[in-house]
Amino acid sequence: MSDSPLNETPSTSHNIELNQLHILLIETHQTTRISIKNQLYKMGIRDISQAQSYDEAKKVINRQEFELSAIVCDWDLGNTTGLELLKELRGGERYRSIPFLLMAATKVKSDIIRAIQAGVSGVMLKPFNGKTLQEKLHQLIYSPEKRPLSTRSPQAKADTNTAPSPRSPQEKRSKILVVDDQPDNIMLIGDILQADYRVVAATDGEKFLQTVQKNPDIELILLDIMMPKINGIDACRALKRRPEFEHIPVIFVSALSDVIDLQKGFAAGAVDYITKPIEPSILLARVKAHIHLKQSMDSMKNEVDTLAETARLQLEMEQLHHINMKKPIADLLTRTLRLSKSRGIDEEARRELEQIGQDAKQLMRQVNRTLVLTQIENNSYQPDCNLVNLREVIETVSSELAKSSPLKPQLSCQGEGIIRAEQLLCQSIIENILLSALTIAPNPATITMQLQGLKKGQQFTVTVPILLHRTLVEEFFQKFTHEKDGLPGKAYSAQQMARLHGGDLILEQQGETTQLRLTLLNNPTICRD
């Protein structure tokens, strides 16, 4: 079995690095955990910590005597999920950027999106083989595609765009393994399949696994049950115990029709069975159906990887775009300030320059807030928390807005409204709430505000005397809906910032009024030392 691609020694270029890696493997099922550990060991990784639960994983993570290189974690951890562990790590300092690979049994798009937003490095659908695991880990740890776009070399980009060599018609056909101790049966099945498929064969259960290893592109196995030494059921069990092979569908071929034998076959991991003597039309139909199912599953796995990669690239592009916008705005501010202080400039021109400066400052604030929002969405923003007087924040923001709108800053307040949060984010939250209220209010002067203390936090309510259309209510918190400037919606931004602090922003309609209700905790988890 040494000639199998799955058992090859890792390439020299990564040998030393692989030996230096420390991987944490988190998997609740012992058999699967041991199998994955063996695959990591074959890759050349020797330092592997294991955990079968969230609590065990936290003990390993919190050890100070070593640093982890990457984490491979199952989605289902019993009482919690790998996603929750990911969020916790991304919210801290030590492992905020560690490669984190989630293993999932099913593809649910909403779950994948949640994982991407939490900062997952990669998602891999079960079952997977050792080659897939190796490629994924190399991609996460070594590939330049995982570095920011600005650090990629032109050669790396060129390599990415290089088209693969076209395959011959023979290579495009699916490969099927036929396992039977009778050569005549192999020849019969081969004659039926050879027009549409590539066929390889094994004559007993021992050679069966060797053949699978030598042919990693096998897409289906036709396996006889009654064979000497190792029967088909035991051979199937051995195959399914290997993570690198368990994804290959197995169809039993046998003269047996006993219900108990069929039950054993399905329990061993078979997906179907065909009885002897073989009817060619039935064999072709079953083979075609199961190969199509396997290819559909492979396609879904690729779609998950593509979705994750697309979201990551989109995030990097957004961050680069915001960063690149800052310099010209800062230059504009500097030049307008210098010009406004120049001698010989008339008063009207000075006022125009001051207005340009104010507009540039506002644009810079919008860029900064959008960048912060992007980091919040990616679970990478750490707020700078201090004691904040929410009452003073509301009064300051509303008074400032009143200078350019008919808003009357009338606030009904119970208590001082002291919370622990980030001052600048609180200002952004309140400003976005009031600006959202101004967009829907028929008369801004009728907007009322109330701040009241709760047992665990503060509640700020803005009431507008109008009932919104159902469509507007449904779209109110969407990211891009009502804003003409192309920036994220103000209500959406305020809601995301509130949730960062463990609170929320909701919209309710009562009687003839619409209320925007903000709740912020006194001491949110993200602000605790």
Percentage of the chain beyond pLDDT 70 is 79
Indicate if 403 and 441 belong to the same structural domain. yes
How many helices (H) does the chain have, and how many strands (E)? 18, 17
pLDDT in tens, 211-228: 998 998 899 999 998 888
Asked if the model's pLDDT at residue 3 lies above 60, the reply is no
The 8-class DSSP code of residue 297 comes to H
Indicate if 511 and 416 belong to the same structural domain. yes
Indicate if 11 and 99 belong to the same structural domain. yes
Range of the domain at 326: 300-377
3-state secondary structure of 432: helix
Indicate if 131 and 174 belong to the same structural domain. no
* Predicted local confidence at residue 312, as pLDDT: 60
Last residue of a domain, one of 352, 377, 402: 377
Q: Quick one: tokens of 330?
A: 């800062």
How far the first Cα of the chain sits from its last, in Å, is 54
Indicate if 349 and 407 belong to the same structural domain. no
User: Residue 193 to residues 109, 190, 224, 276, 281: CA-CA distances in angstroms?
Assistant: 36, 5, 16, 16, 10
Asked if the model's pLDDT at residue 266 lies above 50, the reply is yes
Last residue of a domain, one of 377, 403, 435: 377
> Distance from CA of residue 194 to its chain's centroid?
42
For residues 64 and 103, give the distance between their C-alpha atoms in angstroms, rounded to a whole number.
Answer: 26
pLDDT in tens, 475-492: 888 876 544 444 458 888
- Residue 148: pLDDT band (50, 70, 90) is very low
pLDDT in tens, 342-362: 777 778 887 787 778 777 777
The 8-class DSSP code of residue 81 comes to B
Q: Is residue 157 part of a domain?
A: no
Asked if the model's pLDDT at residue 40 lies above 70, the reply is yes
Q: Is residue 191 part of a domain?
A: yes
pLDDT in tens, 403-452: 777 777 677 877 778 888 888 889 889 988 998 888 888 887 788 888 98
Worst-scoring range by mean pLDDT, 58-62, 145-149, 488-492?
A: 145-149
Q: Quick one: tokens of 377?
A: 């969405």
3-state secondary structure of 529: coil
Q: Is residue 283 part of a domain?
A: no
3-state secondary structure of 117: helix
* Predicted local confidence at residue 518, as pLDDT: 92
Indicate if 462 and 360 belong to the same structural domain. no
For residues 221 and 213, give the distance between their C-alpha atoms in angstroms, rounded to a whole number.
Answer: 13
Indicate if 11 and 117 belong to the same structural domain. yes
CATH code at 28?
3.40.50.2300
Other C-beta atoms closer than 10 Å to the C-beta of 255 total 10
Q: DSSP states of 23-67 as a string?
A: EEEE-SSHHHHHHHHHHHHHTT--EEEEESSHHHHHHHHH-SS--
Worst-scoring range by mean pLDDT, 13-17, 206-210, 378-382?
A: 13-17
Q: Is residue 431 part of a domain?
A: yes
Least Cα distance to 195 among 288, 295, 289 occurs for 288
Worst-scoring range by mean pLDDT, 20-29, 60-69, 126-135?
A: 126-135
The strand ranges marked E within 121-217 are 122-125, 175-179, 198-202
Element (H or E) spanning 176, and its range? Answer: strand 175-179
Domain count, the chain: 4
CB-facing half-sphere around the CA of 506: CA atoms within 13 A: 8
Q: What is the dihedral of CA 126, 127, 131, 136, to 10 degrees?
A: 0
Q: Is residue 162 part of a domain?
A: no
Average pLDDT over residues 28-40: 84
> Which residue has 């058992």 as its token pair?
7
Q: Quick one: tokens of 25?
A: 């493997």
For residues 74 and 33, give the distance between their C-alpha atoms in angstroms, rounded to a whole number.
Answer: 10
- Residue 189: pLDDT band (50, 70, 90) is very high
pLDDT in tens, 94-124: 888 889 999 887 666 667 777 877 888 888 8
CATH code at 444?
3.30.565.10
Last residue of a domain, one of 348, 377, 406: 377
- Residue 170: pLDDT band (50, 70, 90) is very low
- Residue 144: pLDDT band (50, 70, 90) is very low
Strand pairing report for 100-104 and 70-74: parallel
Indicate if 219 and 107 belong to the same structural domain. no
pLDDT in tens, 353-411: 777 877 777 777 776 677 777 777 767 778 888 898 998 999 888 888 887 777 776 77
Q: Is residue 160 part of a domain?
A: no
> Which residue has 């007993």 as its token pair?
204
Q: Is residue 366 part of a domain?
A: yes
Asked if residue 524 has a cis previous peptide bond (ω within 30° of 0), the answer is: no
Indicate if 436 and 345 belong to the same structural domain. no
Least Cα distance to 430 among 464, 399, 468, 472 occurs for 399
Length of the chain as a residue count: 529
Asked if residue 277 has a cis previous peptide bond (ω within 30° of 0), the answer is: yes
pLDDT in tens, 276-335: 888 999 999 999 999 988 888 777 777 776 666 666 656 555 555 555 555 676 677 777
User: Residue 261 to residues 92, 249, 265, 270: CA-CA distances in angstroms?
Assistant: 53, 18, 6, 12
CATH code at 370?
1.10.287
Range of 145-154, 174-183, 255-264, 324-333 with top mean pLDDT: 174-183
Asked if the model's pLDDT at residue 152 lies above 50, the reply is no
For residues 336 and 340, give the distance between their C-alpha atoms in angstroms, rounded to a whole number.
Answer: 6
Q: Quick one: tokens of 22?
A: 């420390």
Indicate if 410 and 505 belong to the same structural domain. yes
For residues 524 and 317, give the distance between their C-alpha atoms in angstroms, rounded to a whole number.
Answer: 31
* Predicted local confidence at residue 199, as pLDDT: 93
Q: Is residue 232 part of a domain?
A: yes
- Residue 12: pLDDT band (50, 70, 90) is very low
Indicate if 523 and 393 belong to the same structural domain. yes
Indicate if 365 and 391 belong to the same structural domain. no
* Predicted local confidence at residue 167, as pLDDT: 41
Q: Quick one: tokens of 19?
A: 């030996």
Q: What is the CA radius of gyration of the chain?
A: 31
